[in-house]
A = this chain, B = another copy of it.
Amino acid sequence: MDDVEVMAGIFRLMGDPTRLRILLACLDAPQSVGAIAAATGASQSLVSHHLRLLRAARLVAGRREARQVFYVAADDHVRDVLRNLMHHAAEQGGPT
């Protein structure tokens, strides 16, 4: 596949608010699916659906711990991108 399409695929995944919140929720530390659902306010089912996509793109990695499964952002580049654009958003919202 073309590099551009790979990039676009990643961006598209980050382009949904719910999925972005999920990513941000497990950016620094592994979180269980339930915890992510609670943190984002999305249903458990929806979170699981999204996590499947994020996992397929290797943006998150999941590890089973007894009954729960803990997900964490799997990529340093992704972390950088997110942090970078968070600054951007902060600037755009800017000082009122």
Give A residues with C-beta under 8 Å from B.
Answer: 2-17, 20-21, 24, 58, 75, 77-78, 80-82, 84-93
The A interface, classified by DSSP as helix, strand, loop or mixed, is helix
List the B side residues contacting A24 at CB < 8 Å.
4
The answer to whether A84 touches B86, judged by C-beta atoms less than 8 angstroms apart, is no
List the B side residues contacting A13 at CB < 8 Å.
15
A20 to B3, CA, bound (A): 11
List the B side residues contacting A77 at CB < 8 Å.
84-85, 87-88, 91
A14 to B88, CA, bound (A): 15
| B2, B8, B10: the one within 8 Å of A88 (CB) | B10
Q: List 10 A-B contacts (CB under 8 A).
A: A4-B17, A4-B24, A7-B86, A7-B89, A8-B20, A9-B15, A10-B85, A10-B88, A12-B16, A81-B85
